[in-house]
Structures are given as structure tokens and as C-alpha cells.
Amino acid sequence: MSPPLFEPRRRLWLLRTPSTSYAVRIDEDDTVRHVHWGAALTLEQAGELAERTPAAGSSFDAVGGAEELAVEGGARFGPPGLQVRFADGTRAVEWRYAGHDADDGYLSIHLDDRHYPLRLTLHYRVHEDSDVIERWTTVENRDDRLPITLRRCDSAAWTLPGRDGYRVSHLVGGWNSEFRLRRAEVATAETVFTSRRGLTSHHANPWLAFDDGTAGEEHGEVWSTALAWSGSWRITLHRDPAGRTTWTGGHGHEGLTWSLAPGETLSTPVFAGLFTAGGFGAASRAWHAYVARHVLPHPGEPRPVLYNSWEATGFDVDEAGQTALAAQAARIGVELFVVDDGWFGGRVGDHAGLGDWTPNPDRFPHGLRSLSAEVHRLGMRFGLWVEPEMVNPDSDLYRAHPDWVMHMANRERTELRHQLVLNLARPDTAAWAHAWLDRLVAEHDIDYLKWDANRPFTEAGWPGHDDPDRLWIEHTRAVYRIMDRLRADHPGLRIEACAGGGGRADLGILARTDQIWTSDNTDPVDRIAIQHGFSQLFPAQVMGAWVTDSPNVATARQTPLRFRFHVAMAGALGVGGDLATWTEDELKEATELIATYKRIRPAVQHGTAYRLTGEGTLTAVGFAHEDRFVVLAWCPSRPYGHQPAPLRLTALDPGATYRDPDTGATYSGAVLLRSGLPLPLPEGDHASALVQLIRIED
């Protein structure tokens, strides 16, 4: 990748991606200002734009153009991305440009405070195969005597070009209802998106997208950003009365302060962004490609078809029952068998045992090694559920180390799910967590961990520590370090990120895990909307999706097995039903559908995804891969006797011919694009179809 271009006279930089440009400049008071983010420009064209950037505003407005990271001080009245307090009480910042480094797609701009020993560095990185721009910040206390208090330290601020009618797209939800896509006009005000829970959260996600109100799935300008952080976070969106739209974001939330010790440097998580002129679908595909190329540890691996025992057994877990389920799972074509909660300590329910990570001797008299060996003999990998960050007060661990949990002096310790949160920011607690996980994986030949985190932080204090709020950062970093060490020491280990379902889904956790448990809600009708929202940022290969029993345990909705499979086959397929109760016909159908999934898996997990919309409630996803286009379509409800119109496809060659290998039917690409694909939907509600199209040579 070529280095950023620099124009010394204007102190102007231009970063280039394959199809976009990003430009910044330093103005007369050494503030770094935004110039351009959008379609590709030359350095000369960026310079022309830089000349237009206002040098100053009125006394009632912000000074000059939008900043790359706003601070307190001077005539600034919007949301700051950096707030500090020096030892003498001063909070305002005045910058002096201190140089820059540029090399191979990377730019860092250094700023020093004019009086105090504070250095801020703005970092930018681009890749030759992606339009994503990675940004982050480092802040350094260069004093050798006094600390500096950080009240807010964001990763980056972003600025949109002047447009009317901007919309923001974002994800909302709750437990069992994650990733619900919402679009709304950007208000002339400050809008805060945040999680104060210590986790990414079910309720919001640090991904946003913006358009001018006219973009669609396959057309229009879209700007999108995503924060790579798995703890509490905050993004503040600001549209001022003059129409300028900016947002700033990073880790932490309001009310927290961190002490930057003498000589210490704090580095923030990456806040990445991209621009496309191809609509929301192109934005998602650009994110998916970036995740595969620059985030995931093993993007080229096929995600195995897994079986998880939770909905079959709950806490009633023992060796005989799990062995029987493993035999049934292997019979239908499962490749990874995962034992869920209830295998350890005194864990016969959710009241006790969490933290005592040794196999329950009554339930597993031979430990887990014999079950692991049997699962491997059946030709499957062996996985295990763990929750390393939590503890039950009724446990040997808590009785031995009550000080290891997050707590505040003279305050009650709130229990949620009868659990407390371990403070992994403590080196001793983190060392213990890594040690038992390392031992567990090694001693039981474990191939896969489902890493869960089932409750948010409360009383997040650290009595006796001189910087207790630091735990909001350091706990998440400790989780990262433990996962990184486990993967380094056990190269074959794969990890699934889970937090009561989709409560920890972000680019930070995906850098050290292989897939995400999308939601505890496995109802296929609900899952269509959940998976639609999830796909705005995340590719199908990381989206855990299970087929479970009917009626569904969460909603009591009854749906056909085929419909349940077709919805789950749009991601990393799993099975979670009680196989001991499935009929022979159901087991046979499941075996056939799993075999079909394995045939289309390269397209689903490594192809390019296109969200498709049909008539009424008909929706679909198409996956293009090599000479293949796979369609999974779902129609949850429809009027009696009504057959939806053919589904219009995309991303096909209009001059090519395509064949359906299951029916032998052939179609011209032009007809599929303009008039659609007839779908073999069965009558009634909860209808679905899977169609494979293979390009054939004329």
C-alpha cells in the first residue's frame, strides 16, 4: 500500500483506499481538521477542498471546520472526544503540531499541548484490499512527576459532507431480541448511543450507518463506522443548527475518569469507517470482506456444523445423557459437539457452582476425558461451555476470594442471575482465570470453547486501587489477553463469543474468536429480523444459528423443520434440539438438510452476501461464490392461496445461463435479474425455499 500523500504548504494529507479518499489538514492554530471523506480525489482536488474549509466561525459557533478529535478549550461547544484535567485543575487544551509519520498505508499525526506535557497522536491505517479506514488515538503523559486525569478519550471523530435529510441506521434490542435495525432522521441535537453495562450489550451496538435519506440496498451514498471494543462504549452524534453532522466515539461512558500516570501511554480501540456509493448492501459487503481479511483469526476455515446440548438438557447434564446425544448428533452429520452449562462443580442450577471449574464427580465420574474421547471417536470435535468472568456467591471460589469480584466499599453486592462479576483487571484474578482455562483445554482435549458472559457490571468498584475506574478498560483487555494466550498456546482451539446471546458482538471480540452466538432466541421467525440486523456489519460465517425444537422454547411458535433449517442455514449452522425426542422422519430430514448445507457452505460462509426482498413477507439472502449463486428464501406468513411473485436476484451476469441442479431448470441471467426466480414454496405459513444456481458455459 502506498503511503499517504502530503502537501507541505497546506499541511494536508490524503489517504487513499481502492475506491475512496480521506483528507485532513492542520490549520493555523495547529488543530487537525477534517477535509474530505468520500469518493476518490487527487491531492490537488483535496487541496481545493481544504481551501474552502472555514478558518473561523462566529462567537456563537464552533471555530473553523470540524476537528478530527475535538477537545475542550476555546470557542468549542460541541461534544469533545478528548477531555483531560491537569494536576493544577486546567482542563482546556491548546495544540502544537509535533510532526507526523507516514508509511505503507499508515499515518500518525502528533500533537503536543503548548504548556503541559501531554502528547496526542491520531492514527490512521488503510489496506490495499479494503475501503475501511482504521482510526485510533494514543495519549501520553510526558510528565515524570504528576498524573493527568482523562475524563473522556475517544478513538476518533467522523464528519459527513454537507447534505440535507441525513438518516442514521443503528441496531437496538434486548435479550432474545437483538440486532433490530432502525433508521431515523438525524436530529438537530446531540444523540448518544451507548452501553454502560461493561459489555457491548444486547440493547445497542457500536455500529452506525448514515445516508442522505435516498439510499437503498443497492444504491446511494452510505458512510458507516464500527468500534472494535467489547466493553462499555459511547458514540455521540451531533448535528448542529447549521447542518454539520459529526460523531465521536470510543470506550467508556460518562462519569468515568482514568488517571494517566507519569510516563504512561493509553491506546484506544480501533474505530473503523467506510464510504460506499453502492447502498447499504455494498456497505455490508465491504464490512464482511474487511472482517474476513483483517479481523478474524481463521477466516478461510469452514465453520463446523455444531450440536449444543443446552435446550435438550438444561442443567441436567451427565455423561450418559451427553454420550447418547453425541451418538445422535454424529448420526445426522454434526461435526462439533458442545456440552453446555451444568458440567462442573455443584452446578445443578443457576444458584451455585459458577467459578468451580472442575467436572462434577457425580455427573462425570470419569471426568470429561472419556466423553471427549467418545466424541472424537464418533468423528466430531469436542466443545465446552464456560463463563470465566462470573461467579456464584455459593461457590468455593467466592468463599475463598470474595475480594476478587467487582464491588464497592459499604455497598451491597447486587446479584443478577445469582451471579457476581469477577474483576479480571486484577492481575491475580486474571492469572487464575487463564490457568484453569489452559489446564481445562489441555487435560480434556477440548477443541472449542463457548465463552459466555451472562450479566452486566454492577458496583464496578475496586476498593484500595488508586484508579478504580480503570477496571472498565482493563477487564476487557484482560479478556482479550486470556483469549489471545489460549489461542497461541493451543493453536487448534476455536472460541465462540457469547453474552447471554448477542450481548458481546463487535469487531474487538471477533479479532480473537471464530463466531458469535447471535441470540438465545432460536425462533426462526424472530431470527429472520435478528439475522438481517446482524448482517449489516457481520458476515454469515460468524453468525451462529441453531435449529431447535417446535414449539420453540422462547415463543411457543410451531414451525416446520424445513423452515427452521432454511433460516439457520444462512449462517454457521448448528442444531440445539432434543435429538432424543425427534422422530425417525425428523432425523432423516435433518440428515439430508445438513448434507445439503455442507454442499452450499462454501457459498454461505465464504461467498458474497446479498439481501433480497420480495413481495409481502418474502425475504431472502443470496450468496455468490465462484460459479454458484445460492438463494435461501423465507415467507413466514401469506394470505391463503397466494403465491409470492418471483424473487428478483442480483449480482448475476445478464448474458449468462444458470441451471438449478436439483430440478434441471435453466434460466437466463437477464430474466433472473429483471423478472425474478420462481420459488418452490410450499403452501401455507412458514414456507421456505433453497435454490442453487450454477452458471453453465454456453
Q: Of 112, 447, 506, 520, which one is the catalytic site residue? A: 520
Please check if 633 is assigned to a binding site: no
**432: part of which helix (H) or strand (E)?**
helix 427-443
Cα-flanking dihedrals φ and ψ of residue 392, to 5°? Answer: -85, 135
Burial 323-339 (b: 16+ CB within 10 A, else e): eebbebbbebbbbbbbb
Please check if 452 is assigned to a binding site: yes
DSSP letter (8 states) at residue 348: S
Check: CB of residue 99 under 8 Å from CB of residue 186. no
**Concatenated DSSP letters for 460-523?**
---TT-SSGGGHHHHHHHHHHHHHHHHHHH-TT-EEEE-BTTBSS-SHHHHTS-SEEE--S---
3-state secondary structure 539-601: CHHHEEEEECCCCCCCCCCCCCHHHHHHHHCCCEEEECCCHHHCCHHHHHHHHHHHHHHHHHH
Angle between helical axes of 319-332 and 369-377 (0-180°, round to 10): 20
Burial 302-319 (b: 16+ CB within 10 A, else e): ebbbbbbbbbbbeeebbb
**Cα–Cα distance between 181 and 281 in angstroms, integer?**
14
Residue 452 designated active-site: yes
DSSP letter (8 states) at residue 287: H
Please check if 341 is assigned to a binding site: yes
Please check if 451 is assigned to a binding site: yes
Residues in contact with 157: Cβ distance below 8 Å, sequence separation at least 6, in sequence order? 34, 66, 67, 68, 69, 70, 81, 246, 247, 248, 249
Residue 489 designated active-site: no
Distance (Å) of CA 91 to CA 71, 88, 113, 148: 9, 9, 11, 10
Q: Of 113, 452, 514, 526, which one is the catalytic site residue? A: 452
Check: CB of residue 65 under 8 Å from CB of residue 98. no
DSSP letter (8 states) at residue 645: P
According to DSSP H, which parts of 577-668 are helical? 584-606
Please check if 141 is assigned to a binding site: no
Please check if 450 is assigned to a binding site: yes
Bridge-partner residues for 585, per DSSP?
none
Please check if 498 is assigned to a binding site: yes
**Concatenated DSSP letters for 319-334?**
HHHHHHHHHHHHHHT-
**209: part of which helix (H) or strand (E)?**
strand 207-211
Please check if 635 is assigned to a binding site: no
**Cα–Cα distance between 563 and 572 in angstroms, integer?**
16
**Cα–Cα distance between 473 and 230 in angstroms, integer?**
10
Burial 346-371 (b: 16+ CB within 10 A, else e): bbeebbbbbbbbebbeebbeeebeeb
Please check if 470 is assigned to a binding site: no
Residue with cell 466424541: 375
**Cα–Cα distance between 513 and 449 in angstroms, integer?**
10
Cα-flanking dihedrals φ and ψ of residue 86, to 5°? Answer: -80, 170
Cα-flanking dihedrals φ and ψ of residue 162, to 5°? Answer: -65, 115
Distance (Å) of CA 417 to CA 209, 454, 497: 34, 8, 19
Please check if 598 is assigned to a binding site: no
Q: Are strands 494-497 and 233-239 parallel, antiparallel or unpaired?
A: unpaired
What amino acid positions are annotated as catalytic residues? 452, 520
Q: Annotated binding site for substrate, which residues?
A: 175, 340-341, 417, 450-454, 498, 520
